[in-house]
Amino acid sequence: MSITALKQAPLREHTRILGVGSYRPEVIVTNEDVCQWIDSSDEWIRQRTGIVTRHRAPRDVSVIDMAEAAAREALEAAGIEASQLGAVLVSTVTHPYATPSAAAQLTDRLGATPAPAFDISAACAGYCYGIAQGDALVHAGTAEYVLVVGVEKLSDFIDNADRTISFLLGDGAGAVVIGPADSAGIGPSVWGSDGSKHEAIRMNRSLIDVRDYALGAVATDTEREADVDAGRQSLWPTMVQDGPTVFRWAVWEMAKVAQKALDAAGVTADDLAVFLPHQANIRIIDEMVKQLKLPEHVYVARDIVDAGNTSAASIPLAMHRTLKEQPSLSGKLALQIGFGAGLVFGAQVVVLP
C-alpha cells in the first residue's frame, strides 16, 4: 500500500459541551467544625477565604462512586447513552490507587466499555486539561462523544490539624459530555505549567517515604511515639501549601492567562455572561474580576462559599450550580479557568450547555 492511500479520521469543525452533572456529598463540615482542629474562627476563615461550609464524603463513598453519579447526570443531560462514548477522561489527584485508573473502572461502571479511558493528574486545572483533550479528540474525529469528569476526595489526603490548606478543602464531582456541534462551542485552550514552583502545593511525603518509614528506615521509635502522642497519622501523605506564594501567583498571573483565553477565542469581557474560575479562594476570585474588568452583567460563580475548594471538581460543580440557579444562562458564553498544584493552569471560553 502506498503512503498516499493511508486514511485519516475525518475532522469535525465544531464542538461543544452538551450536558453537565454533579455530585455533592451529604456530609457538611462547617467552619465551627474546622475550628475544633485548628486554632481559628469562623470569622477569620470567612474573611480570608470566603468559605462557610464544605462537603466531605463518608468513608464508604469513593472517588469512583462520586464520579459515576456526576457522569450519569451529565449523560442524561446530553441525551446520549454511555455506549456512545468514544473516551472517558477523569481528572483527579485523590484516586487512592496508582493503577488501574479511576477512568477505566468508571467506564466499566457506566457501561461504556470498550471506550479508551485514562486519568489526568493536573490538580485544580485538571478539569480544564480534560476539556482541552476532550475537545481535541472530538475535533480530530478520534471520538464522537467524550466524557470529562473532575472528581476529588480531598478529605482522604488532609491532616485536619494542618493550617495551610486542610480547612479549605472539600469533596465532590462534576462531569460534562463533549460532542460535535453546528457552531463553535469551545474556544482554544490556553494551558501550561511552571514546575519551578512545584513545592508551593504538594504532598508532605512520597509513598516511598511511607514504605521506608513503615519499615523503620527513616524514623526512630521515639519519633514514632511522639507522632502517636501528637495524634497525627504520621505515615500517611497529606497536602500542604505555601499560601502566600500560591496567592501571589494566582492573583498576578492567572488574570493574564484568562485574558489570553479571551483573546484566543476572539471575544472580550463584554461578550461574557458567566465567569467560572477555580473555586480556590474568594479573594483570588474577586481580584481576578477586577483585573479582567468584568462588566456587572457577568455572573461570577462563587460556589466556594458552600463547597470549599474541590480541586478538579470545582469548575464543573460551579457550572452545574450556575445553570441550576440561573437557567437563562444556558447557551451563553462563559470563561473558565483552573489553576493549582504543579503549578499548572488551563482556561477556555465555552458555550454553556
Mean pLDDT of 154-160: 94
Catalytic residue, chosen from 31, 95, 309, 320, is 309
Nearby residues of 296 by Cβ (< 8 Å), 6 or more positions away: none
Which pLDDT score is estimated for 211? 81
Which of 137-151, 156-170, 326-340 shows the lowest per-residue confidence on average (mean pLDDT)?
Answer: 156-170
Respond yes or no: is residue 128 known to be catalytic: no
pTM (two decimals): 0.93
State the DSSP H helix or E strand holding residue 5, giving kind and residue range, or none if neither: none
CA distance 173 to 163: 25
Mean pLDDT of 59-76: 98
Catalytic residue, chosen from 31, 55, 95, 124, is 124
What single letter denotes the amino acid at residue 231?
Answer: G
Task: List pLDDT tens digits, range 108-117.
Answer: 999 999 999 9
Q: Average pLDDT of the chain?
A: 93
How far are the Cα atoms of 16, 23, 102, 237, 283 from residue 97, in angstroms, in the given order?
Answer: 32, 21, 8, 13, 34
Which pLDDT score is estimated for 235? 78
Mean pLDDT of 90-97: 97
Mean pLDDT of 179-204: 96
Catalytic residue, chosen from 55, 278, 281, 320, is 278
Task: List pLDDT tens digits, range 158-187.
Answer: 999 888 999 999 999 999 999 999 999 999
- Neighbour tally for 308: CB within 10 Å: 28
Confidence band for 229, pLDDT divided at 50, 70 and 90: very low
pLDDT greater than 50 at residue 230: no
Which of 30-39, 99-108, 305-314, 333-342 shows the lowest per-residue confidence on average (mean pLDDT)?
Answer: 30-39
**Helix, strand or coil, per DSSP, at residue 138:** helix
Respond yes or no: is residue 124 known to be catalytic: yes
Which of 27-31, 225-229, 234-238, 303-307 shows the lowest per-residue confidence on average (mean pLDDT)?
Answer: 225-229
pLDDT greater than 60 at residue 232: no
- Neighbour tally for 211: CB within 10 Å: 12
Confidence band for 228, pLDDT divided at 50, 70 and 90: very low
CA distance 346 to 6: 34
Respond yes or no: is residue 31 known to be catalytic: no
Nearby residues of 254 by Cβ (< 8 Å), 6 or more positions away: 277, 284, 288, 337, 339, 345
Place of cell 473516551: 87
Which pLDDT score is estimated for 6? 86
| Pairing outcome for strands 117-120 and 146-153 | unpaired
pLDDT greater than 60 at residue 219: no
What letter does residue 91 receive in the DSSP assignment?
Answer: E
CA distance 317 to 310: 9
- In terms of Cβ atoms closer than 10 Å to its own Cβ (0-12, 13-18, 19+), residue 91 is buried
